Amino acid sequence: MNSDWDKQGEYFWDRLSPNLTVLHALKRRLYSGRTKFQAVEIVDTASFGVCLVLDGKIQSSEADEFIYHEALVHPVMIVHPHPEKVFIAGGGEGATLREVLAHRTVKRAVMVDIDEEVVDLCRRLLPSWHRGSFDDPRTELYYSDARKYLEENKQKFDVIIIDLVDPLEGGPARLLYTREFYHLVKERLEPDGIISVQAECAEFTNLVSFAAIANTLKSVFPVTRPYTIHVPSFLGVWGFVAASQTLDPARLSPREVDDRILQRISGKLRCYAGSTHQAMFTLPRHIERELAATRRIITDQEPIAAY
């Protein structure tokens, strides 16, 4: 997906696919530039407020970032019996870190993002995303490739959350969606650990990447549970996958989820609840069929490339 400004600078063009473009009325541009790794824009839209845009793709908006980040973090944190050590790959806005630190059990949260400039921009310009989470004493923040970090550091984690940008060709995250990377992640999990992965668009006409990521994780982990939620600023349904050797979040009842939220989480959640959890893991038949039919396994030699 590419994006651009029109000649008058009044609209933000969000190209969702080669055949579909959405125009967002633009109020102002807070930042536009390029880091060592990617193009960065922070824009204020009339549709979803301030948005972080990387390589032309909206990563999150102030209007609904809570939906994406709560969906990515809480299902796997809640199913774990006592998550203390958490690793976050990516997560530049600090919002994934924010949701992890909402769990009272967490003693250590390691966040590794390759792009220090993006994190610094988010720290300065997107305070409602991170809400001071970068300064929490439980946080360890490193600027490195997450795969390299896990290769060089042998410590194990209870939960690993993969919150990466899309696997664009030539982008910084392309080799963090492969079977080889997921094997490495598995090695860095405790025996009762679990991971969650942002797994791309899950819209009816665009399920290829979601299905391939889910199938690749299935080739590594015995328990693999794809799930979805609607994210308005993404203009549709977004996919995630939870994977583990032992833990199955789809088995939790709504009551169990709500009880654990009350016991474990500080503050109020805006989206995630027992009923939300049940809905996310209840996939429509067309998605189930696509997942069942997919044979693609993403590898270092044949990585996936998102549009």
C-beta separation of 266 from 104 below 8 A: yes
Please indicate, yes or no, whether residues 163 and 57 belong to a single structural domain of this protein.
no
Q: What is the radius of gyration, based on Cα positions, of the chain?
A: 18
- Where do runs of H (alpha helix) occur along 126-230? 127-130, 146-152, 179-187, 208-218
**For residue range 132-141, what is the model confidence (pLDDT) as tens digits?**
999 999 999 9
Average pLDDT (118-146) is 97
pLDDT for 292: 96
Average pLDDT (225-240) is 96
Please indicate, yes or no, whether residues 84 and 9 belong to a single structural domain of this protein.
no
- Where do runs of H (alpha helix) occur along 102-219? 116-125, 127-130, 146-152, 179-187, 208-218
Q: What is the distance between the alpha carbons of residues 145 and 149, in angstroms, rounded to a whole number?
A: 6
Structurally, how many domains does the chain consist of? 2
- Which residue in the list 64, 163, 166, 259 is annotated as catalytic? 163
Q: What is the DSSP string of 57-89?
A: EEEEETTTHHHHHHHHHHHHHHHSSS--EEEEE
What percentage of residues in the chain have a pLDDT greater than 70? Answer: 95
Q: Given the structure tokens 């993002």, which residue do they identify? A: 113
Please indicate, yes or no, whether residues 80 and 216 belong to a single structural domain of this protein.
yes
Domain end among 37, 61, 85: 61
pLDDT for 1: 36
Structure tokens at 53: 């845009």
Please indicate, yes or no, whether residues 27 and 97 belong to a single structural domain of this protein.
no
What percentage of residues in the chain have a pLDDT greater than 90? Answer: 86
Q: Which domain holds residue 70?
A: 65-293
Domain end among 23, 41, 61: 61
**For residue range 186-210, what is the model confidence (pLDDT) as tens digits?**
999 999 999 999 999 999 888 999 9
Please indicate, yes or no, whether residues 148 and 287 belong to a single structural domain of this protein.
yes
Nearest to 85, CA basis, from 103, 58, 63 = 103
163 included as an active-site residue: yes
Domain end among 61, 89, 110: 61
Average pLDDT (95-111) is 98
Total-model pTM: 0.94
**For residue range 241-266, what is the model confidence (pLDDT) as tens digits?**
999 999 999 999 999 999 999 999 99
**For residue range 282-296, what is the model confidence (pLDDT) as tens digits?**
999 999 999 999 999
CATH number, domain containing residue 118: 3.40.50.150
Q: Does 4 score more than 90 pLDDT?
A: no
Give residue 21's pLDDT band: very low, low, confident or very high (50, 70, 90): confident
